[in-house]
Structure 1
């Protein structure tokens, strides 16, 4: 296994550089991320297709991860119930050390070889579900042992890693290898690797929710009405899609039915 993520930075003597030089160099490195993801799109598409299949059949998805990648997966997951109205528990994230300690950098927990499977077992994991491991290095023990146990129990696995031919990818039925190259600060995978992970999480969750029917046209018609800003956005969305011209009328209909989609189904079924 080649640890590209640990190779020396293309830049040196950083402490001698100006602010303008540093930001230009970081931007140059960030520009490589989208290209690396483009190369991995076939793998990403295969993983998403399997996730959609599992969720369509009433299964669940679990991310397991540690460090920056694990924390980013938690942030993605917690947005989904509000943005798409999907019920909590359909898409999940298990973070080394516990998601309730998200703001703590419990990096030592990535060496725990038992916690991931213990947490999955507590969640009653089954072959109806899919588990996706997150590891920039492709060797994180927390993730590796979790995926091994999943495969032993006939549970479909995927992964997102940033080194080729990793031990974690070998345990994944649907591996995604996004090779972003050496980091600007040698070994600091919170940078390009983290950016790539965030972009892929967005791809996975957004594409999956669209395929599951949680989006109409280009609109979040299942968004939860949790604050005034979202209610206003949803009212305007309903007016646009239904042809209702009166704001107060649209708002009343929206609040009566609880979502744009439900309001459209009640008011104008042809729009669904």
Structure 2
């Protein structure tokens, strides 16, 4: 294994005396290095856009978005997938994250799991990966065998293949039809890719899931109209979303929220079109879930 050419493994010449720096100096340079991440991502917006288009296409076919990764990369994929359920009202199966070594690896490193190509194939087969799905392999190094194996299996079943790496000319890019490569430079702590590389991956995942959900009607204006009100805070947020989307008062928002069966999107269409629950539901079906179209 030759890691010499990987930017993610190189030493940052600005921090060779990291252990002798003051806390404030470390914080300052850490912040300066982190600030480089958005600029690096900006250079890859074309590639990110292409992946989002494919995710939307996959959802339109009834397919799923599957993230695969090891270590920090795998954990970030699982985090992004988990957040789609409350934020966008998706079923847990629609966006999934797989990590080398299984859910145990979320908190404890599983020896050798990331080095197994066959393990990823088994994990994807276990969720019945199909040609309707899109698999996004995530690896800061761009060479993780678990991700390579997963992308190979995705090709076998005809699923769309994308990747996210933090090195140029990454190995996993060769296995992805839609590679994203964002090079953020050496970490302040050599090889600690949970830092800038992890931040870059998180920002890209934010883009992939959020913009894809906008693309399938999960957002009206800039409001999360498919939010699941699973606790008191979210119930109040749901009512506020209804008020902001329709410019109604709290009383009407609360009343319609209840009448809709606590369905924010449905309540909004009921108010905007001055219609009952059944009529509003029909309008949403006809518009494929887009509030703006249903309200016209």
Bin of the TM-score, shorter chain as denominator length:
over 0.9
Q: Does 1:65 align with 2:69?
A: yes
User: Any idea what SS the aligned residue of 2:35 has?
Assistant: helix
Match of 1:95 in 2: 99
Query: Which structure exhibits the higher relative contact order, with contacts defined as CA atoms closer than 8 Å and separated by 6 or more residues?
Result: 1
1:252-271 matches, cutoff 5 A: 252-257=255-260, 258-269=262-273
TM-score where L is the length of structure 1 = 0.95
Within a 5 Å distance, the mapping from 1:1-272 to structure 2 comes to 2-10=5-13, 11-106=15-110, 108-245=112-249, 247-257=250-260, 258-269=262-273, 272=295
Shift of 1:234: 1.3
Is the partner of 1:216 in helix, strand or coil?
A: coil
SS of aligned partner of 2:171: coil
Task: Sort the Cα spacing of 1:171 and 1:232 in 2 relative to 1 into closer, same or farther, 3 A.
Answer: same
Distance 1:44 1:99 in 2: 27
CA contact (8 A) 1:158 1:173 kept: yes
8 Å CA contact 1:67–1:107 kept in 2: the answer is no
The Cα of 1:267 is off from its aligned counterpart by 2.8
The 3-state SS of whatever aligns with 1:134 is strand
| Deviation of 1:59 (Å) | 0.8
Is this contact kept in 1: 2:71–2:105, CA < 8 A? no
Deviations 1:54-80 (CA, angstroms, capped at 9, x unpaired):
111211110010010110111111011
SS of residue paired to 2:124: helix
Q: How many residues align?
A: 271
1:206-242 per-position Cα deviation (integer Å, ceiling 9, x unaligned): 1001111000001011100111111111112212323
For structure 1, which segment, 232-241 or 22-31, has the greater mean C-alpha deviation from structure 2 after superposition? 232-241
Give the distance between the partners of 1:48 and 1:65, measured in 2 at CA: 19
| Shift in Å, 1:100 | 5.0
Residue pair 1:63, 1:93 contacting (<8 A) in 2 also: yes
Does the CA-based 8 Å contact 1:129-1:156 persist in structure 2? yes
Kindly indicate whether the alpha-carbon contact (under 8 Å) linking 1:74 and 1:99 is maintained by their aligned counterparts in 2. Answer: no
| Cα separation, 2, equivalents of 1:155 and 1:222 | 27
Q: CA deviation at 1:48?
A: 0.8
Normalised to the residue count of structure 2, the TM-score between the two structures is 0.87
CA RMSD across the alignment: 1.6
Over 3 Å counting, the alpha-carbon distance change for 1:159 and 1:107 in structure 2 is farther
